[in-house]
Amino acid sequence: MPVQVVTAEFARTATRPQEWPRGPAPEVAFVGRSNVGKSSMLNALTRRKGLARVSATPGRTRALQFFDVAVRPTPAARPRTIRFCDLPGYGFAKVSKAERDRWAAMIEDYLRERDVLRAVVLIVDARHPPAESDRDALGFLRDGGRQVIVAATKTDKLPRTRVGAALRAVEADLGLARGEVVPFSAVEGTGADALWARISAVTAPAASGEDGGAGA
């Protein structure tokens, strides 16, 4: 049974920890290289076309963007709120080193310290082997004990017969189990149900005990 999105709205922008939204809602963050298709994925997942801005100018989003998403995991369930955090894309070359360092510090502080963060969706391009920056991001998240869901997007750009092999190659490259990568296409609208199933599982109240603790 697919997760039903009841409402999805922008909550706030943050560049400093003091600006992170308060409250106990379990959070899921989205990271990936600039232009990988992160905004398109957020819009497809929430079924709101203009929620996250699909940018013509890569690297424009330089703050953390938070969204409140109310979902019903099953038709009979009461809606519950999951917060999404859209992190600035990495690997964008056209900024000064000082600026890049400032973003990196902002993102790393968040990924290290955010206590309601349950999992991080790492988005890679299904067409290419993961970049060094993707491997670095995965290593950083794992070292910090974060649960990572890897999603490979733009599968529509591959011939259908090559999608399986492309996913296996990503899994092998990142040292993941077979079947662990979630295939996704914002253009074809595929993969959202599978990704929601993973997000719903890691944000379920039972996933971290009664007190809403830090989780995996």
- Regarding 89 and contact with ligand GDP (CB under 6 A), the answer is yes
What is residue 200's three-state secondary structure? helix
Q: Measuring CA to CA, how many Å separate 116 from each of 26, 167, 171? A: 5, 30, 27
- Regarding 194 and contact with ligand GDP (CB under 6 A), the answer is no
Nearest to 68 by CA among 8, 145, 129: 8
- Gyration radius of the chain's alpha carbons: 16
Measured from the CB atom, the residue of 41 and 73 that comes closer to ligand GDP is: 41
Residues 138-177, interacting with ligand GDP (CB under 6 A): 153-154, 156-157
Kindly state the smallest distance separating residue 198's Cβ from ligand GDP, in Å: 18
- Regarding 83 and contact with ligand GDP (CB under 6 A), the answer is no
Q: Please, what is the Cα angle at 50 between 44 and 51, to 5 degrees?
A: 75
Residues 17-46, interacting with ligand GDP (CB under 6 A): 32, 34-40
Kindly state the smallest distance separating residue 28's Cβ from ligand GDP, in Å: 16
Size of the site for ligand GDP (CB under 6 A): 19
Q: How far apart are CA 77 and CA 74, in angstroms?
A: 5
**Which stretches of the chain bind ligand GDP, using CB under 6 A?**
32, 34-40, 54-55, 58, 89, 153-154, 156-157, 185-187
